[in-house]
Structure 1
Amino acid sequence: MSLTHIDGLPAHVLFVHFVVILVPLTALAAVGCAIQPRYARRMGLVLPVLGLVTLALVPLTTHAGEWLEPRVGDDPLVRRHAELGDGLLPWATGLFLATVAIWWLGRRSAQSEGRAEEGSSTATARWASPTVVRVAAVVLAAAVSTGAVVDVYRIGESGAKAAWHDNYDKSATGHNG
């Protein structure tokens, strides 16, 4: 087993499934936790760890794809897929940073709620309106999540076209059973 092939199969083909699942899952978690900070508090460190795992899988998958690319022949569809794939890392980075920010804001809101219950107030607790910060977190999470998910879709569609064009009989109607 290596980072380019696993048990005789190209690792890219296996890693891509993790990316296709984790990017939308992380995006959904980020938006949900931004909208409802108690979800972020409940998830705790799982949210930024999910973002980090997602981020780490993107260059791993891209590296395995770059290894595979010259082994599948010169095909414009494969080149297009590779070009699109190179664009996911900034989105995954933004998604990771959003998960960290949302996690941190969830912790901060829990701490300010604790201080409010004790009756104390500090200048750091009032540095910005909680509503403004929360709206900014929701907008950031929604924008980055949408971009990441759309990019994964575009990359996946181009990869499917590259892998399957002219590789099956479109006219077959029955089973060989």
Structure 2
Amino acid sequence: MPEFVNGLPLHVLVIHAVVVFVPLGALGTAVIAFWPAARRRIGWVVAGVVALGTALTPIASQSGELLQNRLPENPLIQAHAELGDQLIFFVAPQLLAVLGLMIAHTAQQSAERAESGNPARAKIVVIGIAVLAVGLSAAASVHVFRVGEAGSRAVWEGVANLPAR
């Protein structure tokens, strides 16, 4: 993995994508969870956005470790790194729940079209998975905020006290 792209640390570039895609996926998850028409139209797109945020998370973590190795020891950077390493444990369940929601939704639609199985039971399963997906998405978004806030502190702590040029 390259450490730098056009002279900028890869970590700085990738984290911005994670900061966009994880909360955007969470917002999309809330929409498709509570609005079946949206689920039919954009559900798989939302799953793709969540998958992209999930896929970028380990890249952000690994590139952060490479950057951390170039910097002097700093407890703020260490705190940020520890939180960043935990993020995968939030985004992976979010992805599984969104995929589960879309699979259950597809099965529900198939059952309704074929008038086979138990459509009421399928609807209850979809609702249950939707609630779970929204909760996991909220947790992932909160943790992205926590990681980002810790990273911001590591970079910018004390800058306000620097003299202006």
TM-score, scaled to structure 1: 0.84
Asked if the contact 2:112/2:119 (under 8 Å) is kept, the reply is no
Q: Which amino acid aligns with 2:157?
A: H
Superposed counterparts of 1:1-177, under 5 Å: 2-115=1-114, 121-123=115-117, 125-126=118-119, 128-130=121-123, 132-169=124-161
Distance 1:74 1:17, change over 3 A: same
Specify every segment of 5 or more residues in structure 1 that has no aligned partner in the other structure, as ranges.
Answer: 116-120
Runs in 1 of length 4+ with deviation above 4 angstroms?
Answer: none
Distance 1:135 1:171, change over 3 A: farther
Q: CA deviation at 1:168?
A: 4.4
Asked if the contact 1:24/1:149 (under 8 Å) is kept, the reply is yes
Asked if the contact 1:4/1:63 (under 8 Å) is kept, the reply is no
Structure 2: how far apart are the matches of 1:143 and 1:57? Answer: 21
- Residues 16-52 of structure 1 deviation map (CA, whole Å, 9 limit, x = unaligned): 1000010000011112111122212101532322222
Once superposed, what is the RMSD of the aligned Cα atoms?
2.0
Identity of matched residues, %: 33
Structure 1: how far apart are the matches of 2:19 and 2:112? Answer: 37
Asked if the contact 1:15/1:61 (under 8 Å) is kept, the reply is yes
Structure 1: how far apart are the matches of 2:2 and 2:54? Answer: 16
Q: Which amino acid aligns with 1:161?
A: R
Q: CA deviation at 1:165?
A: 1.3
Q: CA deviation at 1:112?
A: 2.9
Specify every segment of 5 or more residues in structure 2 that has no aligned partner in the other structure, as ranges.
Answer: none
Larger Rg: 1
Q: Which amino acid aligns with 1:164?
A: W
Asked if the contact 1:33/1:102 (under 8 Å) is kept, the reply is no
Q: CA deviation at 1:126?
A: 4.4
Q: 2:159 aligns to what SS in structure 1?
A: coil
Q: CA deviation at 1:127?
A: 7.9
Structure 1: how far apart are the matches of 2:72 and 2:157? Answer: 14
Asked if the contact 1:23/1:92 (under 8 Å) is kept, the reply is yes
Q: CA deviation at 1:3?
A: 3.5
Structure 2: how far apart are the matches of 1:165 and 1:42? Answer: 44
Structure with more of its chain in helix, by fraction: 2
TM-score, scaled to structure 2: 0.90
